[in-house]
Structure 1
Amino acid sequence: MNNELDMNRIPQHVAIIMDGNGRWATERGKERSYGHQAGVEAVRRITSECTRLGVKYLTLYTFSTENWNRPADEISALMGLVLTSLEDEIFMKNNVRFRVIGDIKRLPAEVQQKLHETEEHTAKNDAMTMVVALSYSSRWEITNAVREIISENPQEITEETITKHLTTSFMPDPDLLIRTGGELRISNYLLWQIAYSELYFCDTYWPDFNEQELHKAIRSFQSRQRRFGKTEAQVEEEVKDEK
């Protein structure tokens, strides 16, 4: 399945904006919650495949702070799905550690409790860390980080101090950001962290995103030269020096 991938250049951190669940369901004459249920199956597929490929961090944009403006019945269905999906054995079967980022205090108490229990239960798993962004927005995260810094030491506001106060401080920045569903925007997701991430957009709705689609995204990533502000010649020289 992965014979076209360079296994020495697998991105260590893949972030995904899982878009298209609602439209996928609507096109099938179903309620939007049906699409979210199908989206959970895609999460299971992609988590297993990322673990197999050697990805170390998988961050999934599950529910944004802006999503609180959606209809109450859809929010309720989504919260129920969070609880159901956390019952899945995929974490232990794949040796995956679970982490959550976001304004968790806004979530229902039972969801908060289940998130905490899952983090504790999977804490020793070390094949991959799956991070779920729930009630998350990048502007909320950065604002919160700045508030913390000012309360501690307002004289020391640097890139490093901001990074340390972000909810993602425990992991490296994404190498690859994937957005499914055909939209070409970032939607307030990891704005600080994706400064030099490679971006990949596809028309496939999230419920239909499978191992083959993931491989397409990784092949696209592997076809690019990551320069981080340097010239092509500088990067090529560094590669020669490493050899």
Structure 2
Amino acid sequence: MIPLRLAVQFLTRVPLGVPAAPRAADLGRSVAFYPLVGLGLGLVLAVVGALAGQGPGLLAAALLVTLWAAATGFLHLDGLADSADAWLGGQGDAERTLAILKDAYAGPAGVTAVVLVLLVKVAALAPLMVAGGVAALVLAPLLARAGTAALLLTTPYVRAGGLGEAAAANMPRPAVLLGVALSGLVALLVGGVAGLGALVAGGLVLLGLRWLMVRRIGGVTGDTLGAAIEVSEAVVLVVFAFGT
């Protein structure tokens, strides 16, 4: 299952020994597995959260968010930081924005964005840990990665060359669409009213982020997809927190 292993490798830091030069077709098929990887991560977080929830809620939430970020290799947080710096420093210019996205340096806008998103996640998780918010922990990673697949379905990939462009150009669109649709169904079945709220809020935020990406750089890059994952996860947790 090379496409599944590629999806795990792209979205987490679980070493599965994928080929050094994967085929373009396998890269494309890996996109269909993004929601499944999110579901797997969510189930692990739910188990850990159930155990950690026996302790102080705020501390448990902070520890869980730390594990969450470490499991993904901090890749999505890096994308969030790069995107925030690029949008501020790009000053409305597409080429300048793309150049800053490639820069590994984290500026004040990037650091601030990462801190704020992590604060929101911890603050939203704290009451959920006390209330046993298993559904939120399962659905936040799932819906965020389904949202990434949806962005790749509907938005041009603008960074030429590399694995991201090959994945976007070769993905099996019906299979990816099915994965996104099933993710929405899982959200309704597992989350109920809060799941519906997370779908609506997450969808609106995703549309807003897509509009910003298309307007500024003409599409998505790996960094902006990472930023979308972090923001989407935070939105889902906030919706569930207000529903407790």
- TM-score interval w.r.t. the shorter chain? under 0.3
Tell me which structure has the larger Cα radius of gyration: 1
Greater percentage in strand: 1
TM-score, normalisation: structure 2:
0.23
